[in-house]
Each structure stands twice: as structure tokens, then as C-alpha cells.
Copies of this chain bind each other. A is one copy, B any other.
């Protein structure tokens, strides 16, 4: 039966993502607006276990909506996969009077959330990852900022590639998922996009197209490579050797995780944070907030974790036509 929560804890877990602060702020402010207390749990599940728990009021989140990173900090916590450790986590929640938790993170973080929910702590997941690789939702906190950061960096690399008539291999984040690569590939007008989901390892074909492009007078050749494929330096060397075209690799790296969030990330993260609190106030638990088919909705965590997601085929197909 639905039990309304009194004290809401909030934590960020896994990799940080721009917009997490907007979500935290929304959890805090919406909870206060609904007459709840709020506690911030620092450093994800690790901080929960270490009882790094702080009281939060409206001013705790003043001037944070525009900040990158997460003011609660984050950490990975492998031991939270063990049943005993999960039980300890739930116990610590009860000790601190936390009867509801908002967990901002990715699929791994939701698995922990599910365990807490089963142990009697009402728990809501909010999707936060720059990789967009959470199947139940069309939006994840941080992706929009990350693709803009990557795109702007690639625009700059393109300037110098054109000036020197170079080929550039640019590696963007995304271990298992090529969303950042696909979006940047289209947005930067790149000649090749290498996605983990589609990669056929046919480097000879790429080399052939570079040689043809150069014959037609192409002044640069931009290859966007996803982290999940990697080996950007080796690919650059192989291309330079085979084509004679000067080729440079750039690995954009962790800068893609930071920076002031975009408008979309601020607005959607705020909405999801508020929505998570609303669910807790309705006595809900074991749910994930999602943005699906143009609406903010929520799913059962099991259901959400079982969903599948694939690279949008139409976008992938036009990425080849528009070069």
C-alpha cells in the first residue's frame, strides 16, 4: 500500500553528467515545496555506506543550476552488488530517517535502486548519463551538453584540418553506444562515422574513400570514432601510411563530461527531478523517470532494465547521404 515519504535522500552515481545539479536542485526544491525534508548523500552508494549524509535546504542548491559536475559528487561502488552491503545501505537510510531516495545515474545505478526498493526504501531512478544508453528513455541528463561540447571541439579541429588539408580522426565518448558519435558525425558534417553498433572494421574502404575524396579536391576528411571502437591513433597512422594524407588523431576525453549544462539539460533534468519527487509523494517506488515519445513518464525498474534501444536507422542512413 502506498506510503507517503517524509524525508527524501538524493544521490548521484556512476559517471557524472552536466545537468545532474539541475536535477538535484529540483529534487530539493520540489521536496521542500511539498513539505518534505531532504538529505544529500555524497559520492553515490559509497557515500551512503560511509554515511556521508548532509541536510539540504533551498539555499544548498542556490546558483547550482548552471554548474557542471555534481555538487553531491559521485563514485562507482562495486560492492553495492552484494546483498549484505545493500541491506546495510537500507539500514543506514532508516537510521537517518530517509524513507525515499532519488538515484540519479545509469543502468548500474538503477540496479542498486531496485535493491533498496525491495528492502523497503521507496526509490526512484532518474536517468543521468552523457552516453544516452538507457533503453527506456529518449533523453538522459547530460547527453545534450556532451554532444554540444564535442561538436564545438570538432568544429575547431575542422578549421585546422581544412587549413592543412589533413585527415582527422576524432574520438568521442561512448563505450558501448554510438549516440554521441552519430550526432556529432551529422552535426559536424563528417565524412565517416564509426559506431560500435555498426562497425564493420573495413578500414580499407575508408582509405579508398579518402583517396577518392582527395582526388575530387576535398580539403579535409573528418572521421568521428566512438570510444568503444578506440584505436584512433593506430587508425590515423594506418590512414596516413596508406593515403599519404597527413592524418592526426584527437581523443576529446573527459572535457565532454563537464561544462555548464545546455538549456535542454537544465529544463529536462529539472523536470525529471521534480517528477521523481512527485512519484515519491504519491507513494510510488521502484520506478524510473523517462522521457518517451514526447512525454515525461515512468516505468517499473525491472521493465526499464529489460528494454532494448538501437541507433536510429534514418539518422544513420542520412549521415551517409549528406556528406
Contact = CB atoms under 8 A, between A and B. Distances in A.
Interface residues of A, number: 79
Interface stretch (A89-97, A113-121, A184-192, A194-202): A184-192
A260 interface: yes
A274 B318 contact: yes
Contacts of A189: 25, 63, 65-66
A89 B68 CA distance: 40
Nearest to A43: B165
Which secondary structure dominates chain A's binding surface? Answer: helix
A69 B12 CA distance: 29
B66 A163 contact: no
Given A251-B253, A259-B156, A264-B144, A69 B162 contact: yes
Interface stretch (A2-10, A77-85, A288-296, A298-306): A288-296
Nearest to A274: B318
Number of copies: 4
Contacts of A274: 318, 321-322
A29 interface: yes
Given A148-B262, A294-B294, A271 B314 contact: yes
B270 A219 contact: no
Contact of A187 (B43, B156, B266): B266
Contacts of A248: 253-254
A147 interface: yes
B263 A184 contact: yes
Contacts of A12: 163
B148 A258 contact: no
A111 interface: no
A74 interface: yes
A160 interface: yes
A217 to B, nearest CB: 9
A253 B164 CA distance: 15
A270 B16 CA distance: 30
A274 B187 CA distance: 14
B33 A155 contact: no
A247 to B, nearest CB: 11
A161 to B, nearest CB: 8
Contacts of A211: none
User: Lowest 3 CB-CB distances: which A-B pairs, in order?
Assistant: A156-B258, A159-B258, A68-B159
7 contacts: A29-B321, A66-B188, A151-B266, A156-B256, A157-B253, A159-B258, A183-B267
